Structure 1
Amino acid sequence: MTVFILVAGAFTGPHVWRDTAARLTAEGAEVHTVALTGLGGPPADGGAAVDLETHVADVLAVIDPVIDATAEPGGKVVLVGHDYGIHPVLGAADRRARSIGRIVYLDSGLPQDGVPALAAVPDQLLREEVAERATGSGDGVMGGELPPPARDEWPRWGSTEGLSEAALDGLTALAAPQPLGTLLQPLRLTGAVAEVPATGVLCARNGPGVEMLQIMVDVGTPALRALADARVTFFELPTGHWPMLSCPDALAGTLIEAASGGGHLLTPADAGHTPAHLRPFLLDVPERPRERTGNTDLYLPDGPGPHPAVVFVHGGPVPAEAMPTPRDWPAPANYPILAPLPAWGLTGSRFHPVRALSRAGDLPVVLVRVGRESAEIAATVEEFVAEAARCGANLEIIDVPEGRHGFETLDPADGAREAVHRAVGAVLARLKG
């Protein structure tokens, strides 16, 4: 029998797993939901401050009796950590590595030794608020609590897409304050947990899906290299950050598959294949000499000027260690992400293309729109197009119904070639006009 031990994220407790746990039990699994101290569990003894080690001990208190009762150590115990919950899960698994069959990272970060959970909070302003609250708590760094989000504040912690109004009401009503020490105390790992098989369940409405993760591995993101391992599998759910509330049956089915080792495997960056971003560009572009100054490459046309200028700005994020750098990639991008995605943590930043439209005046804008775009990026495009219509922006759209994000390198067929020709032609026509 597979034994699932489920650990919820920030501000939440065992109640969020109710429907998922019921489905797992119906499928013949044994399920334990961990009540973390202060988050659905009893308060700390003697009013002591609650920190990450407190929650690691809470998880161990559930694991150890299960291990004692399991005839096959390490074979069937599956630890599931959602959001913040992955931190105490890893802390506990590191101390019982030989007894754990698999760890499931449920829409969580990749915690590292010596790094506190606060570093995984996507919203920079939230991180600053937590740090300020800890400094001013008067109880020391590990004292104090962070109040739970109000109903309209949950998106700062993750996408609420897929949640019904009732589910969002319940999430808010049952939320508990998060002890500051659980976010501020560094995670301590010996390295033993690295040997435990793992599965990542990606919520594609809150961050990258499997395909985008593969692209990030290909680019050479150092923290992701270890994910291209035969012991690491991935699943993707088309929902926001709380799948146990938005699609509990689908999540339960995914966890059952994960327990048996199922899921998608990533290809290592050095596996001998040419990653999409380094494949030859689908248009035959003549070589031109360039002048390289700082972070800018300048390609000058023949003949006397003045000449119009085209500025290419690459996408990202791209790790600083990636080689070659984007300026030497053969493929220029021709479609953007038009608003910050939920997991980016860019609240309060200057990255707001939609807002800029109202000040664009008659400036021509050419937008390539792909029909198979990921839902979270497509939403930013729809918002941009709607705002362009509202303020009368000079917008021309090049539609590629069968295209997906990266189509000119992932699917360099005739349709992609024609779409890029049309997009480049539209820009050149605007420049000549």
Structure 2
Amino acid sequence: MQVLKSKIIQIQGIKIIFINNPVFTSTTLGLTLKIGSANDFKGKSGCIFILMHLIFFSYSNKSRMDEIIACGVKIKYKIEKEYSYIFFEDTFHNYKKIMSLLLEIVNNLDFSEEELEEAKKMAEYYSKKHNENIENFIIHSICENIFTRQVIGKSPYGKEKTINNIKKQDILDYYKKYFHKGNYYLLISTPYSYKEITSDLENIINKNTQILSNSYKELLNTNILFTAFKKYIYHKKEKNIYKHTKLTTLCLTFPISGAREYQQHIYHEIIKELLQEKIYTKLIAIKNNLTVNYIKYNSIGFFYIYINIYDKSKILDCYNELIYQIQNISINNTDIENIKNKIIQNNNYIINNSLNTAIDTSNHMLNVRKTKKYLFDYEIIRIINCDSILSLINNIFVNSPISKFIIGTKK
């Protein structure tokens, strides 16, 4: 087993992620396992993906997972380019009990020799069988051998089942398309605010800083660091080595709902242009205090603006300035038309029909939602009116923006 341990890519840390979504009045908690470089999927190193699932779905943890599911949790799978997600939708709002159970699993993490040997055999088998298609190796290793057998309780070779009305094949297709490299999320949706959860989880996590059994310390050596977005580890890759720099990262997230595959590129281009022109350029005044790292779009429909702040004393100033600039954005039909024309010219295809359909749908949803008052709930700036942010892209967004704070990890 020493050979196996030495070949496995080391997991870098565990993060707690909060997503406060005013549209659904829920907060999502995420327990994240971060893998470093995931370039070598072949042979023994490939079983890292299986081990990630063994952490939560191993035989020794199955009773705890059954208890979590009994709390009214619905499980969903999603994969995109850099992150893999398992969504736990907390339908009965038992987030304290569920988080306690998840932390208990992590705190008592231990793999039997049989489980490690099984993981190694699966990794070797699928890497050989799918030597030219590594994605299939990951699909079979995670979905069939771990998820299907240990969570659903059925043999992967038995009768096909559905998970929340999603067929297993749909899940496999999603893996094929969106998996790239390695973060592993366990997410739980609750109706509580960010501040309420911060207070409760701080007490829980402070009592559980040692998350790994000593026998596997050399394999997964890390501690939980709960900092409420005061620190964030930014990974910069230089010569295949991730260097860690302590930063504060504020992350604004804008969801795009209903954007099908043929429309996603359109949404991507339009929103990227608007964010660049209407927000990014306005931040020059506070550029000395922060670095706007990038504006990123991912394949499951979210835009992120990452802002790394090096001077902690400037956090509040930068945050206030950013929110001020967003709330005072003015976008008119001319802006939209100019960007549409630019995209058509650059991409050499017509997007009017699908775009107009999206805008019509958005107008309808916006009119419905204007009857309600949407609020952001932050720790620093508690209440922000969302109406001005909704006008950010002139009704292109179907959902109201949500905030996403990434809670730091420490190696």
Settle same-fold status: TM greater than 0.5: no
TM (norm. structure 2) is 0.24
TM (norm. structure 1) is 0.23
More strand by share: 2
More helix by share: 2
Relative contact order higher in (CA < 8 Å, ≥ 6 apart): 2
